[in-house]
Structure 1
Amino acid sequence: MKKYEFTDEKIVFDGRTLHRIRALRDFGYVKKGDIGGFIEKESNLSHKRDCWIFGNAQVYGNAKVYDDARVYGNAQIYGNAQVSDYAEVGGASVGDNAKVFDYARIYGNSVIGESVHVYGNAKIYNQAYICCRVNIAGNW
């Protein structure tokens, strides 16, 4: 069962058409009728569990948000990036082949790219820039 639909609102970003989403039912922190962020295609945001894209956040390319992950603010998730489990990305950019999962949090205009994996209870904030092949884990 689908949990969201595209609204009529669209933006063009980096040559891609992104569609604003609207919730079709209650789940997690989201109520039926709530307006979400922007996605390029349905494969960017899973219809399963409680994941959601809030505010003006954007998810595009082959990026995926799933499980119970939350993306908000002016965050951008792109390329082949994945945000999953209970992870949160707020106002940051996650791209390329990066993965953010478990209970990781990324905030504050930080940029995560290439093949970075952020997981556990790790927190990245204050305009951090992390790239290449790095694994960052927080305490369990």
Structure 2
Amino acid sequence: MMGEQKKYEMVQEGEYYRIRALIDIPEYGVKVGDYGGVIEDESNLTQDEKGWISKESKAEKQATVHDAFVTGKSLVSDASRLISGTIHDSTIKGTLVQGSVKIFNSTIENSTFCLENEMDEGTIHDSYVLGLYLYAQFNIHHSEISVGQMDGCCEHFHVNDSFITLKSMNILKKCLIRGSKLDLDYFRVSQKVSLFFFEMETDGSLYVIKDDLNQDAETFVFGRGRNPIRIDCQHLMISSTTIKGNPYLCGNMNLTSCEITGMPSIRLYGKLEHSQVSDLAVINYVNEDYRILKKIKLSGDDVYE
């Protein structure tokens, strides 16, 4: 709390008001007399907390900025509540943001970010998101995510019924992707990973690798019924993983110590080692110059071409 001293005054500017600092806010480099952004009403920016809205940004309607910093060309609207965090060049509508959250170049609607520390959990729901930074536990549902890079130092990373376009994703701990489509250049997941009936078609790389330091880790890639697993990528490396449910695997692959079952179709440019393949499997080697089939157990009515 800052006591009874008001943080800013409002200067009429058309139908809105431009804020002018009455105190220093060193957290955001604000000095007494500095002009900030535009608000529709005093309720859009609290007087007794440290939040600030920079010159090119606006807060309107029922939106409230508390200890957050809104900068760049940002718009905070509808019933958004920015408890803390940084919003830069983004449009936020009907969203709760709390914790050390950073949102850049984004359009986010009806979402919730609650990341007080790395064990907290944030959620994006029914949203179109561009340029997202995330840390800690995170959930994405029914969303379209398009980012240059999403690095997941996440205890939990859950994606459900979403479309994700990105340059790279590196999930270090637990990962669950269900009913989603990935379009990316690089995707690496390790330790405990579950991928359920998803699609990935890209010129990039997919790595599902069991961490040598975590021998109890398990990874699963599951398809089901009309929702088979489909992975078509330039480089595919999967180790110590169970893959089942009509999987289609195509690319320059390195499949090691895997169990592949449920009518799999494997179109291979590469090697398959120390794995068990069963249940009406079809393995087709495309590249005659490079192929390794080593210590493989085939069973049932499998076909090798």
The normalised TM-score by structure 2 is 0.37
Aligned to 2:199: none
- CA apart distance, 1:73: 0.9
* Contact 1:19–1:38, Cα closer than 8 Å, also in 2: yes
| Equivalence map 1:30-109=2 (5 Å) | 30-67=30-67, 69-85=68-84, 87-96=85-94, 98-108=95-105
Q: Partners in 1 of 2:55 and 2:125 — Cα distance?
A: 26
**Which structure's CA Rg is the greater one?**
2
- CA apart distance, 1:48: 1.4
Q: Partners in 1 of 2:90 and 2:25 — Cα distance?
A: 24
1:7-66: per-residue Cα shift (whole Å, max 9, x none)? 24x25xxxxx22111001112321100110000000000111311001210000000000
Q: Partners in 1 of 2:87 and 2:125 — Cα distance?
A: 16
4+ long deviations beyond 6 Å: none
**Is 1:3 aligned to residue 1 of structure 2?**
no
**Is 1:132 aligned to residue 126 of structure 2?**
yes
The normalised TM-score by structure 1 is 0.76
Aligned to 1:127: none
Q: Partners in 2 of 1:47 and 1:35 — Cα distance?
A: 15
Q: Partners in 2 of 1:101 and 1:59 — Cα distance?
A: 17
Q: Partners in 2 of 1:3 and 1:89 — Cα distance?
A: 20
Q: Partners in 2 of 1:27 and 1:91 — Cα distance?
A: 21
Which blocks of at least 5 consecutive residues in structure 2 are unaligned?
Answer: 119-123, 138-305
Cα distance change on mapping 1:37 and 1:53 into 2, 3 Å:
same
Aligned to 2:215: none
Quick one: which amino acid aligns to residue 96 of structure 2?
K
- CA apart distance, 1:81: 0.4
**1:118 counterpart (113, 129, 137):** 113
Q: Partners in 1 of 2:33 and 2:82 — Cα distance?
A: 24
* Contact 1:39–1:60, Cα closer than 8 Å, also in 2: yes
Q: Partners in 1 of 2:25 and 2:102 — Cα distance?
A: 21
1:74-103: per-residue Cα shift (whole Å, max 9, x none)? 100000001112x0101100002x111101
Q: Partners in 1 of 2:125 and 2:44 — Cα distance?
A: 22
Q: Partners in 2 of 1:101 and 1:82 — Cα distance?
A: 8
Aligned-partner SS, 1:101: strand
1:114-139: per-residue Cα shift (whole Å, max 9, x none)? 2x1023279xxxxxxx6528xx9622
The count of corresponding residues between Structure 1 and Structure 2 is 120
Aligned-partner SS, 1:55: coil
RMSD: 2.3
Which protein has the bigger strand share? 2
Which blocks of at least 5 consecutive residues in structure 1 are unaligned?
Answer: 12-16, 123-129
Identity %: 30
Quick one: which amino acid aligns to residue 58 of structure 2?
Q
